[in-house]
Structure 1
Amino acid sequence: MKNLVIDIGNSRIKSALFEGKDLIGDHSFEDFDAALRFWEAMDFQACLVSSVRFTQEELAEKISFPFVFLSHDSHLPILNGYSTPKTLGLDRIAAAIGAWDLAGKKSVLAIDLGSCITYEWVDELSIYRGGAISPGLQMRAKAMNSFTARLPLVALDQKPEDALGNSTVSCMQSGIWYGVEYELLGHIEAYRLKIPEIKVYICGGDSLSFESLAKDHIFVVPNLVLHGLNCILNHNVE
C-alpha cells in the first residue's frame, strides 16, 4: 500500500511517499497551494497529515482527498509515558517512533537537530520515556549576540576544522559547533552506559553537519520524522 505523509511546519512543508515501510521519495515546499497540486497528482491509498499551521477543520476545507490528522489523541504504535503528554510536540514523538521502527522496535535514542536539539528515548518495552531539549546551532549563535554587548552574530556555514579558535569570531564558531558535538557525544554515552545495546538516530536540518558521528550504533537519517509519521499511519490503517 502506498502512503502519503505530510508534515506542515511554520515555514516549510515536507511530504514523502512510502510503499509499506519503504521510502519512495520525499519533497519540500514553501507554498501550500503548490504542494497541494503536487499531492493531488499522486497515486496513494492512505494519507496522514501533521500540522502546526492548520487545524483539522481548516485542512478538510483545503484538501480534497481523505486523510488521517495527527493529534495528541491519535493512536500510536508505542505507549506514551511522558508525564505531560498533551505538551509533547508531535514532531518529537514522530521522530521517536521513526527511530524505534527503524531499529526493529528496540530501545532507541532519537536526536533531532533543528532550532532546538531534542533527545527522545523509547525503552525496550516500547514506551516513550522523554528526553531533553537544548538550544540548536543557530539559537546559540543568536543568544550570544543578543545577550552580550560586543559579540557579533556569527555565520555557521561549516564546521571549523579545529576546536581551537584564534579570533573572537572563530572562537564563537568553535564553541558553538564543538559544544553541540560534545553535547551529543555526552548524551549518547550516558545512554549507552545504561543501555549498551541502544541505537541512536540523528535527524533534523543540521543532522548532515554531524555525519562524522555515524558509526555502528549511530545512524544519520534526516527524514526520520517522516518515517515516524508513516509508521503511525500504518498503525492506524492496518
Structure 2
Amino acid sequence: MQGQLLDSATVTGYEALADMLQPAAGDRVLIASVNWTEEDLREKIDFPFLFFDKETPLPIQNHYRSPNTLGLDRLAAVIGARAFVADGAVLCIDLGTCITYDFMDGSDNFQGGAISPGMGLRARAMHAFTARLPLVEPIQEVPFFLGRDTRTCMKSGIYHGVLGEIHEYIRLFTASYGKVKVFICGGDAEIFESLTKDHIFVIPNLVLYGLDRILTYNVEN
C-alpha cells in the first residue's frame, strides 16, 4: 500500500538483501546505501531498482551549500515529513550515531540545519577520552535528572543534555521561522516519546517514508 509502512527488517550481506527484496521484484524498488555501491548491488541483485544517490530527482529543492557532503538520509527525513503534513515548515531531528537537525521551509526548500553527537557517541566519548569514566550501557528509559553515582550522572547528562539541545533548536527555529512542525526520528527516537504534542511527532522510521515518496516521485515523473 502506497504511503504505509508495512514491515521493516535488518539484514547483512548482499544475498540476504536480495532475498528480502525478491517478493518485490515485479514492483517498484528503491535502494539507498552508504555501505554498498550501486555497481556492487547491480551485480548481486538481478531485477531492476532505483538507486538513491545525489543525482536522484527529488520532490523538493536542495539549497545545501555542500550537496556532495550531505547525507541522503537527511533529505529523506524532510521528504518523509510530507507524508504526515502537506505544507508548512518542518524540522526533522534524527537521533542516530549523530543527531541531525534538518529544516525545510513551507515552499519545500531544504535549507540545512545542524549536527551534534548522538547519545551513544557521547557515552563512548566520555569513556574513551577520560581516565576513569566507565562506558555506560545504552539508555532505554528516561533517567532521573539527579544522578546518585557516576553511571547515573553520566546517563542524566547524556539524556537531559540532548533533551535540552532539542528544546533549544526548536526554540531557535520557531523564533526565526514561525510555526514549525517537528519530527523526531532515528534509533533513539522512542525514548523521547513524551515530547509528542500537536506540533511535535515522534516517528522512528520517518526516513523510510521519505524513501517511499522519492520512489513514487521518480516513477510518476
Give the TM-score range, shorter chain: over 0.9
Matched, 1:135 2:122: no
Q: Quote the Cα distance in structure 1 between the aligned partners of 2:143 and 2:205.
A: 27
1:228 to partner: Cα distance: 0.6
Matched, 1:120 2:99: no
Which runs of at least 4 in structure 1 moved beyond 4 Å after TM superposition?
Answer: none
Work out whether residues 111 and 118 of structure 1, in 8 Å CA contact, stay in contact via their aligned partners in 2: yes
Q: In proportion to residue count, which structure has more strand?
A: 1
Correspondence for 1:48: 30
Code of the residue aligned with 2:9 in structure 1: it is H
The percent identity for this pair of structures is 47
Tell me the number of residue pairs that the alignment of Structure 1 and Structure 2 aligns.
220
Work out whether residues 14 and 41 of structure 2, in 8 Å CA contact, stay in contact via their aligned partners in 1: no
**CA deviation vs aligned residue, 1:103-147 (integer Å, no higher than 9, x gap):** 214310011000000000001121000000000011001111111
Code of the residue aligned with 1:126 in structure 2: it is D
Q: Quote the Cα distance in structure 2 between the aligned partners of 1:202 and 1:210.
A: 8
Give the SS at the match of 2:100: strand
Correspondence for 2:77: 95
Q: 2:134 aligns with which of 142, 152, 156?
A: 152
- Pair 149,197 (structure 1): closer, same or farther in 2 beyond 3 Å: same
User: Which consecutive unaligned segments of at least 5 residues does structure 2 have?
Assistant: none
Q: 1:110 aligns with which of 82, 88, 92?
A: 92
Q: Quote the Cα distance in structure 2 between the aligned partners of 1:44 and 1:109.
A: 35
Q: Quote the Cα distance in structure 2 between the aligned partners of 1:231 and 1:160.
A: 33
Per the normalisation by structure 2, the TM-score is 0.94
Work out whether residues 163 and 174 of structure 1, in 8 Å CA contact, stay in contact via their aligned partners in 2: yes
Q: Quote the Cα distance in structure 2 between the aligned partners of 1:217 and 1:44.
A: 38
Correspondence for 1:29: 11
Give the SS at the match of 2:7: strand
1:43 to partner: Cα distance: 6.4
User: Which consecutive unaligned segments of at least 5 residues does structure 1 have?
Assistant: 1-18
Work out whether residues 112 and 119 of structure 1, in 8 Å CA contact, stay in contact via their aligned partners in 2: yes
